[in-house]
Amino acid sequence: MEIGKKIMELRKKNGFSQEELADKVGVTRQTISKWELGETSPDLKQAKELSKIFKVSLDELVDNDIENILIEKTSNTEKLAGLILKLLRFLIVFIIVLPILVIILNIVVKNYRENNSGRLVNTSIQCTLHDKEYSYEFEYFEETGQIKAAGGDEYLANITNVDNESDAYVALDKITAYVENNNGTCKRSEPKEVKD
């Protein structure tokens, strides 16, 4: 809609005559008539005064469809905010759930390994080295050699570094090899099943 038609529509809607509106704006009645006929247009100062009189924005007065643009921008902003909120919710759930899943998975894997690693056995090794007796004991899974518990003479553990071993078979061989290489002897007990 042209500004002249908009001025006429708003003037009639507000119940003003051309002369009354001219008095309020500070122009002649002929100027209002020329505006409404589209022969001339109000300048910026006059347009601002008209928007105050009619209680409308300048955009509405000149029929700029700014409302649809604002609604579209607001809608797009709301969609983006909604997407960001969904992403944040997912991340929070992921951050909370992931450690729990890792803990559960570790427990399941540990139980699976223990249940599928054969029976739990105990073996000890007694060694004589430099005329002294030393012993070390391992509790481990027979199939895999995975150590569940170990302990014994500190001297034997320190010189062979068996505390860092996870495989009982490797640890027993390490102790035996060290002692025999240093002119000592070792004797292993037969593995005995550990009863719970």
**CATH number of residue 39's parent domain:** 1.10.260.40
Instruction: Choose one of 46, 65, 84: the last residue of a domain.
Output: 65
Lowest mean pLDDT among 33-37, 66-70, 135-139: 66-70
Residue 96 lies in a domain: no
* Cβ(184)–Cβ(129) below 8 Å: yes
Give pLDDT, residue 73. 73
Q: How far is CA 7 from the centre of its chain?
A: 56
Residue 30 lies in a domain: yes
Residue 128 lies in a domain: yes
Tell me the C-alpha distance between 81 and 76, whole Å.
9
Q: Are both 61 and 125 inside the same structural domain?
A: no
CA distances from 168 to 21, 71, 93, 173 (A): 103, 72, 41, 8
Q: Which domain holds residue 24?
A: 3-65
Residue 170 lies in a domain: yes
Residue 75 lies in a domain: no
Q: What is the mean pLDDT of the chain?
A: 88
If one counts the domains in the chain, the total is: 2
CA distances from 193 to 1, 144, 169 (A): 97, 15, 16
Q: Percentage of residues in the chain with pLDDT exceeding 70?
A: 92
pTM of the model: 0.43
Top mean-pLDDT range of 41-45, 68-72, 76-80: 41-45
Tell me the average pLDDT across 90-108.
Answer: 89
Give pLDDT, residue 27. 93
Residue 148 lies in a domain: yes
Residue 106 lies in a domain: no
pLDDT in tens, 156-183: 899 999 989 999 999 999 999 999 999 9
Phi first, then psi: give them for residue 185, nearest 5 degrees. -135, 155
Tell me the average pLDDT across 77-106.
Answer: 89
pLDDT surpasses 60 at 1: no
pLDDT in tens, 9-40: 989 999 999 999 999 999 999 999 998 898 99
Q: CB under 8 Å, gap of 24 or more: what pairs does 39-45 form?
A: 39/4, 41/3, 41/4, 42/3, 42/7
Question: How do strand 192-193 and strand 120-129 relate by DSSP bridges?
Answer: antiparallel
Tell me the C-alpha distance between 178 and 130, whole Å.
12
Residue 71 lies in a domain: no
Burial zone of 127 (CB within 10 Å; 0-12 exposed, 13-18 middle, 19+ buried): buried
